[in-house]
A and B are shown apart, each in its own frame.
Chain A
Amino acid sequence: MKSSSAGWGPQWLLKMSPDKQDTLLKMLVLSIAAILSFSTRLFSVLRFESVIHEFDPYFNYRTTRYLTEEGFYSFHNWFDDRAWYPLGRIIGGTIYPGLMVTSAVFYHALWFFNITIDIRNVCVFLAPMFSSFTTLVTYWFTKELKDAGAGLVAAAMIAIVPGYISRSVAGSYDNEGIAIFCMLLTYALWIKSVKTGSLFWSCLCALAYFYMVSSWGGYVFLINLIPLHVLALMLTGRFSHRIYVAYSAVYCIGTILSMQISFVGFQPVQSSEHMAALGVFGLCQMHAFIDYVRSKLSVEQFNILFRSIVLMGAVVSLSVAAIGTATGKISPWTGRFYSLLDPSYAKNNIPIIASVSEHQPTTWSSFYFDLQMLTIMFPAGLYFCFNRLTDANIFIIMYGVTSIYFAGVMVRLMLVLAPVMCILSGIGVSSTLNTYMKNLDVSRKDKKTSKKNVDHTYPFKNEVATGVVFLVTAFLITYTFHCTWVTSEAYSSPSIVLSARAGDGGRIIFDDFREAYYWLRHNTPEDAKVMSWWDYGYQITAMANRTILVDNNTWNNTHISRVGQAMASTEDKAYEIMRELDVNYVLVIFGGLTGYSSDDINKFLWMVRIGGSTDRGAHIKEADYYTPQGEFRIDKEGSPTLLNCLMYKMCYYRFGEVYTEGGKPTGYDRVRNAEIGNKNFDLDVLEEAYTTEHWLVRIYKVKDLDNRGA
């Protein structure tokens, strides 16, 4: 559709053969889309600086630096004693190394050519670069599904779709940044191998799958979706040798390769999440065998055989599954997976999963916010796919339907939905325009021909067509504006540096996090242990280079719970826990002075819940921290348990003397809009070690034992 609209180029364009014009236009559109997808992600670099964002990326950055400095072997065997004190963490075996290896490869390749770029910049710009690649892959994928026109639209859409940008802006150095590329690449290669039935494409698909497994835990979605596709094809009677070849090759090679990642290990043959793939693999073999037998036997003989085999097969497979589950050979379904199927599962059972904001169910507004017109065009695309069912179309339909369900369960999985939204909308928009563009009498030449063979199917054909084309164009234009706006407003703040508008219109920068981390880095003993809530764990290890107790890799629930208990207890009780955990410094985030709302007091209820979720913290009850009316208040009305717990005291130590806002009493908390209830208290077991300029980060030093009571 794009190529038809661009027929009026300069003279030299006309002289080229249509083939060449076509290629040129495609290349042009694609490269513009790729460049756009790179540059639209650079807002934060231009506004702030080339810096790593958020929390998880800091860990990835740190490990990448380790990998480039120490080499792959020691990275693989890395035991990190800076995290999870006193347990430590085996990094090599508990991460998906794809991201780090990718950037290390880029880094070394660049250095080989004496392009001396800093590893931090490689990390910062990796995600935008991979989104450029994603744009190209999307084009190819959609082209395989439909045609080049739809591919171009989909590529242009995915270049700027906010749902994807949210995870791939410059500096957001996370697994998802490259995983989406891997996922689409795997899908595209899968479609290609389904269409051709060639081993070559299947092997490539398995390799892409391996890359995907190495980079993101979301590969589980892939290894369930592809079998689902095969199953659907079987049920619709579309099973053929091509699919048999494609799936057998992809499953076997892919599984063997995926087991090479040490974090995945034997899961592909043991855990229940992977069983569907194995089952479909078995079905495939049976189906192929049955097809073979059927071709050799008469109909009656076959029917008897078929029935008996189906019965036996069902019994055997069920009992194997039951025994496997009972003996623990097949691991039970993990909590995260349950929460996918049942949104309320996590909230009821595992507070640590529910406490993460990105694990919350998605609201309707965020669908529109992240996808805008795609939400409307998505059903249209589905319609066009159903209209002309092929093996490939069935795949994209399944992908679309399943991912929209998952995205509804977890905000984070919006990321998986965004590409398929773009693809289906691309197909929708392209097909719509294809239909109506034909009816337009734009040039006189066309008028002549259309007069010859007018089919009066409906009146005002030209007018309707014009209307539709204008409408779609208007949609597309608002889409671009919306995407740019969302990217610039919502997804381009590094969260490590905050900025606010000053009264005179200037910009105030709150760089308190780095101030505190840098202070820790240079002015505490090398082996100091810092206790903080787990959100800040990765940042502290990466930027302050100090040992921490818990971090964002929330693998040990009881340990986190212990920290939660310390924060929620009174000073004496907390002191015991802190001595037990050998803590030297405690770090809290406090936004009461500046009005930064995602601070530790607002997260405090999660600490209470997580702290109370284990046996040792059974005495901590959420209800104690509420007022009798069931409110969470920090002012005089608040529950005394809250007003005397360690977290409260650390946040509000000496805050009672500060005037924060004109016309308000001292100690007025600007986040919770209340005057604090407990002022003028002293800390017995802690002393203030450092507080940043805007009080965002407060660091306390745990006093030694002999000073106690002094």
Chain B
Amino acid sequence: KIDVSTHLVKMSTSITLENTGKSPIKSFLYALEPSLQNYLSIITANVKDKDEKLGVSQTTVASKKDLSFWRIELPSNLEPGKTMTVDVDSSYAHALTPYPAEITQSQKQQVLYNGNVYFFSPYSTKSQTTTVTTTNTAIESYSKSPKPVSQTDRTVTYGPYEQREAFSEAELRVHYENNSPFLTVTNLERIIEVSHWGNIAVEEHISMRHTGALLKGPFSRYDYQRAQDGLSSIKAFKTVLPAAARDVYYRDEIGNISTSNLKEMDDFVELELRPRFPLFGGWKTQYYIGYNVPSYQYLFNKGDNYALKMRFVDHIFDDMVVDQVTVKIILPEGAKNMRLETPYPVTQGENQLHFTYLDTTGRPVIVIHKSNLVEQHIQDFQLHYTFQKLLLLQEPLIVVGAFYLLFLAVIVYVRLDFSITKDEAKESKMRVASLVEEVQSAHDRRSALYQSYDDAINKYKSTKDANTFAATRKKVDADYKSLTQQISDLQTKLKNEGSDLAEKVNELQVSDRQYKDLVALAITLAEKLVSGKINKQQYLDNEKINKTKREDLDSKMEALRSSLA
């Protein structure tokens, strides 16, 4: 059964094997038709009605060097005289030839399929039929021999034929209309960047080409828009991305391509891409798409052992053909012991190092090449590696360290003096500023002490405990003295600097002494009250006068303090 309705040749052969020999057989050979053997993309086999894939491997046969044979392993030995049905599916890319090779914009595309009527087999065949399915009913011509041949709708049936020798051939030639998109990805570079912070970034660089009949003559936008002709041209196609894909972008080397639509389905994301221009025969374009997927769906770990399980290639368009693919897997910095498992043979290139943000030693990159892929190649690969989890902290620490160093440098720089000459005035100013600051803080503390005096007096009044009061007073007095001493020291220093602020500090000290006297008075009053030398009314009157004076002084000092700066 040959399906040539798209730009691929899909051949599915259902073979009923009969062991006519003496001993049980384990495997059989499948030969590719000489006209198609160079176009083979993939070949798979399974026992009829069973899903399990059979082992398929390429072999050579000494007597037929120029043919390519595939050995298909049977699931169980085939005993002599028994039969078994095996389905072999194979796909061939670029096996259809556009004929005519050049068409104008309005013409329809016609292609030619050249093959073999008979089942090309190293064994003799008892009975066989061959059917060819075309795109539509517009079949220009097809080989009329060997009989019997019949056509119904879009199917041409050859046979049944009985008893054919091994390697028998008869030309099969179908010329028919095929306007399905002859789109070929000539080169695909798929970059998978794994981050252990929970994200996997995928980017695919795609060069594609319309491999159908070449466009002959002018391209008229008017005709294209009005009549919607240009049947063979490709306007848009759909790419299916994983359901979790986010932040999808679609660009090329000169910027964003604005013609795309994103549809989110339940189990996949459908991206409708329109190249910048419609692709006619022979026209090329290039673009790249990228997206992020969360890593938990693809990255599995056990301790420090990790396994990445992702698709080797992903869907680009239906019935896709990819001539060349390079897959690059970028692992986090510090990943070691990489081991790759692929569902089909690939060539592994040399590992590289990739440097990007905050890298020091570089990220290991696994490079894999493969050519001639079709949709059936969308299968998972597995990459095992080890990675120490602590290394995850390396990059944040680098940032922290860099900022730390930066701030440290600024701190050091600000404090160092690089000038050769001394700027006396400026230095004196700075010294004055720092002295003033000290004076202010000392004064602030002193003001706090006044408050403690008040507290002590109040407490004394209520408890009438002379001893405690004396002790507290003594302590506060000591503090007060030391602070006052400190301020006068600072005042001397300010005077030495020749600053007129010394005057103000002096004023401050004078007011402070007055204040202290008032406090002393308040204490005496309180003592008198406690010892009963004056009555309450007298005390309150005196205290009131005293308090007003103190408040006045306080605000004066406060004004002085702030005028210092």
Binding site for B on A (CB under 8 A): 17-19, 48-49, 51, 114-116, 496-497, 509, 511, 514-515, 517-519, 521-523, 543, 654-655, 657-658, 687-693, 695, 701
Contacts and interface: CB of A to CB of B under 8 A. Distances in A.
Interface stretch (B15-23, B279-287, B321-329, B489-497): B279-287
Contacts of A18: 565
B532 interface: no
Contact of A515 (B277, B437, B565): B277
A518 B357 contact: no
Given A17-B437, A522-B283, A690-B219, A114 B357 contact: yes
Nearest to B282: A523
A514 B219 contact: no
B356 interface: yes
B255 A687 contact: no
Contacts of B217: 687
Given A114-B356, A688-B219, A688-B220, A518 B433 contact: no
Contacts of B276: 511, 514-515, 518-519
Given A114-B359, A690-B221, A692-B221, 12 more contacts: A17-B565, A19-B433, A496-B255, A517-B254, A523-B282, A523-B283, A654-B220, A658-B222, A687-B218, A688-B218, A690-B219, A691-B222
B286 A51 contact: no
A514 B255 contact: yes
A532 B221 CA distance: 20
Nearest to B562: A14
Contacts of A511: 257-259, 276
Nearest to A518: B276
Nearest to B277: A519
7 contacts: A19-B433, A114-B357, A519-B276, A654-B220, A689-B218, A690-B221, A692-B221
B277 A114 contact: no
Contacts of A687: 217-218
B358 interface: yes
A301 B524 CA distance: 91
Contacts of A19: 433
A690 B433 contact: no
Interface string B277-306: 100001111100000000000000000000
A49 B356 contact: no
Interface in B203-227: 217-222, 226
B445 to A, nearest CB: 15
Contact of A657 (B218, B222, B254, B437): B222
B355 A114 contact: yes
A567 B255 CA distance: 31
Contacts of A695: 221
Chain B binding surface, main DSSP class: loop
Contact of A514 (B226, B254, B286, B437): B254
A686 to B, nearest CB: 9
Contacts of B257: 511
Interface string B238-255: 000000000000001011
A690 B233 CA distance: 14
Contacts of A116: 355-357
Contacts of B277: 515, 518-519, 690, 692
B565 A114 contact: no
Interface of B: 217-222, 226, 252, 254-259, 276-277, 282-286, 355-360, 433, 437, 565
Given A116-B357, A517-B254, A522 B284 contact: yes
B466 to A, nearest CB: 40
Nearest to A51: B255
A523 B284 contact: yes
B349 to A, nearest CB: 21
Nearest to A654: B222
B502 to A, nearest CB: 18
Given A114-B355, A518-B277, A51 B565 contact: no
Which of A48, A509, A515 has the most chain B CB within a 10 Å cutoff?
A515
Nearest to B429: A19
Contacts of B355: 114, 116
A522 to B, nearest CB: 4
Contacts of B437: 17
Nearest to B433: A17
A314 B360 CA distance: 67
Nearest to B278: A693
The 8 A-B pairs of least Cβ separation, nearest first, read A691-B221, A687-B218, A688-B218, A49-B256, A515-B276, A116-B356, A522-B284, A654-B222
Nearest to A698: B221
A445 to B, nearest CB: 10
A518 B285 contact: yes
A695 B219 CA distance: 13
Nearest to A507: B258
A509 B255 CA distance: 14
Nearest to B257: A511
A509 to B, nearest CB: 5
A3 to B, nearest CB: 15
Nearest to B207: A522
Nearest to A18: B565
A514 B565 CA distance: 65
A358 B87 CA distance: 73
Contacts of B356: 114, 116
B565 A522 contact: no
Contacts of A114: 355-360
A522 B357 CA distance: 33
A343 to B, nearest CB: 38
Contacts of A51: 255-256
Nearest to A523: B283
B286 A691 contact: no
Nearest to A542: B254
A382 B254 CA distance: 47
Contacts of A690: 219, 221, 277
Nearest to B286: A522
Nearest to B279: A523
A71 B217 CA distance: 43
A514 B220 CA distance: 19
A519 to B, nearest CB: 5
A397 B546 CA distance: 64
A116 B193 CA distance: 14
B219 A522 contact: no
A691 B256 contact: no
A654 to B, nearest CB: 5
B19 to A, nearest CB: 56
Contacts of A518: 252, 254, 276-277, 285
A242 B459 CA distance: 73
A543 B218 CA distance: 23
B219 A689 contact: yes
A48 B251 CA distance: 13
A515 B257 CA distance: 9
A133 B357 CA distance: 25
A692 B359 CA distance: 44
A458 B484 CA distance: 49
A657 B221 CA distance: 12
A691 B220 contact: yes
Contacts of A517: 254
Contacts of A17: 433, 437, 565
Contacts of A658: 222
Contacts of B256: 48-49, 51
B357 A115 contact: yes
Nearest to B252: A518
B444 to A, nearest CB: 10
Contacts of B359: 114
A124 to B, nearest CB: 11
Contacts of B285: 518, 522
A406 to B, nearest CB: 35
B103 to A, nearest CB: 16
Nearest to A494: B255
A123 to B, nearest CB: 13
A115 B282 CA distance: 39
Contacts of A655: 222
A379 B555 CA distance: 48
